[in-house]
Structure 1
Amino acid sequence: MTDHVTTGHVTTSRGDTVAYDLRGEGPGLVFVAGAGPYRAIDPVTTETAERVSEHGVTTVVFDRLGRGDSPADGVLDLERELTAVAAAISVADGGTGRGAVLCGHSSGCAISLAAAHAGLPVTGLVLWEAPLGDDLATTTEWIDEFERRLDAGDVVGATEQFMMDMPPEWLEDMRRSPDFEQLARGSRSQRADGRSLVWATAALEDGSLASVDVPVLATYGTTTFPVMPVSAKKVVAAVPHGELREVEGADHSWEPAAMADELVRFVHATPGT
């Protein structure tokens, strides 16, 4: 596998700088990370983008605001994050306005759904394990407390709150790291994740997710948490053009070769790309 990658920066409509890796030629595909990952620590997404780009697809992997090489000050809310997604789409389609497919991971699924709902030039959505199992009241209470801790400057507490429903060993692994407090400071970039999950949960409950009128492929791993297939089925039932698929993967992460095959198939079958 030969990787021909161009690394660059693009400026959003809000003046933020977004770092990205661009590969391949053809219809566009943008990867939208969930809570935490960025290019330097996410080899799975990088390998997937490499594989997809070898099959006539332009791929963009970008660092979300406040992560990696996309530094950003102030409040990193959902609206601001969507401007970063819009900038990444413009890189993927060469500024033509043709748009791109978004591939969201975890809470990146909710951000991707919000991008399509907001009218960004999104031609299709591939969603990996969208964590949308709770009801709106529970989700809102969880995120309100996360934001309260974040706004108080308690980044460790905010991190613990955000991860409260995740396997406890994940948080324990973070705590054992000598860089735990530095890692916890990354929680400031998770406000957009939290707000997108609140929005998506509300949209599921009130039926407004039906406004996402593009092809949607909701996926989950062969070994996963019980809530993930349930969430994927809820999304597929709520959108006009939904498809459900199990893809090889475990521990909330896909297997790159298997996911690349699905993405190539989906992008080339999606109208407008």
Structure 2
Amino acid sequence: MDKQTISRDGTTLAYERTGQGPAVVLVSGAMSTGATVAPLAARLSNGFSVIVYDRRGRGESDDTAPYAVAREVEDLAALIKTAGGEAALYGISSGGALALEAAASGLPVRSVAVYETPFADYGGAEERAEYTRNLTEALAQGRRGDAVELFLTLTGLAPEMIANARQSPMWAGMEAIAPTLAYDDAVMGDGLVPRDRLASITVPVLALAGAASPEWLRRATRAVAESAPQGTYRTLEGQTHMVDPEVLAPVLAEFFASQV
């Protein structure tokens, strides 16, 4: 990241800006940094000024205690200010929940696109609460590896794959940002689709899901679109939660251009 901005609480945020045109800020999900969405930024930079950043506590960005979801909304406000005072937002997975919350909070946002924000449109609150309790305990005890394992288990990764991941070179990097799992957990709230909050969003929302993703993710994504007054739902053929930037970028570009 070659640039920095300061959030309202004094936290330094690292970001990069590429391309020319209307501003778009990309928001990464759990266990990721801005590098995760950099390939998408490259494909959008022909028509947009794209900002990629490390969310607080990750990569080259600092952190300031205590954490609150409102602080991450203020982070986006600072980035939008650097972009010229208005921007579109794209968020993937739990980053989508943050992008939607920013729009609901009244930030100067033109439009919001999200990909498979993993809400549930049915029960599951008890399972979610158990995850939160176990995650909080693991992080409080400094068991970062166990915290990462809890998250990977929540995503449905098989135990043998998690065991292999623990032996891989990437595991150290995952443990380094493990405390931010609590941040994404907070952003997701109780895990259910926040229908009332989404109903307060006054800008267009595009909710995307992969046609090859689990049915519950597609159902939750559709519920996001249905809850936003100007929401649209769309599936991308052949895509899973690991969406291909080559497939995603043209869809986002068309949506963002239509809202300029």
Calculate the TM-score normalised by the size of structure 1. Answer: 0.85
Task: Tell me which residue corresponds to 1:201.
Answer: 192
State the distance in 2 between where 1:29 and 1:153 align: 36
Measured after TM superposition, the shift of residue 200 of structure 1 is: 6.4
Partner residue of 2:88 out of 101, 104, 110: 101
SS in structure 2 opposite 1:163? helix
CA contact (8 A) 2:165 2:171 kept: yes
Deviations 1:211-239 (A, max 9, x none): 12211111012322222111111111111
Matched, 1:83 2:80: no
Q: What are the residue-to-residue correspondences of 1:1-273 with 2, within 5 Å?
A: 7-40=2-35, 42=36, 45-55=37-47, 57-92=48-83, 94=84, 97=85, 99-133=86-120, 135=123, 136-169=125-158, 171-178=162-169, 180-198=171-189, 201=192, 203-204=194-195, 207-248=196-237, 250-270=239-259, 273=260
State the distance in 1 between where 2:96 and 2:30 align: 11
State the distance in 1 between where 2:3 and 2:250 align: 26
SS in structure 1 opposite 2:153? coil
SS in structure 1 opposite 2:89? strand
**Residues 182 and 76 (structure 1 numbering): CA distance in 2 closer, same or farther, change over 3 Å?**
farther
State the distance in 1 between where 2:182 and 2:68 align: 6
Measured after TM superposition, the shift of residue 242 of structure 1 is: 0.8
Q: Where does structure 1 differ by over 6 angstroms across 4 or more consecutive aligned residues?
A: none
Q: Unmatched 5+ residue regions in structure 2?
A: none
State the distance in 2 between where 1:24 and 1:181 align: 33
Measured after TM superposition, the shift of residue 142 of structure 1 is: 2.2
Q: Unmatched 5+ residue regions in structure 1?
A: 1-5
SS in structure 2 opposite 1:35? coil
SS in structure 2 opposite 1:177? coil
- In structure 2, give the amino acid aligned to 1:235: V
State the distance in 2 between where 1:118 and 1:212 align: 8
CA contact (8 A) 2:200 2:228 kept: yes
Calculate the TM-score normalised by the size of structure 2. Answer: 0.89
State the distance in 2 between where 1:137 and 1:122 align: 34
Corresponding residue pairs, total: 256
State the distance in 2 between where 1:225 and 1:87 align: 35
CA contact (8 A) 2:76 2:102 kept: yes
Deviations 1:156-207 (A, max 9, x none): 2222222222232453343122453552231211222111111662623xx3
SS in structure 1 opposite 2:192? helix
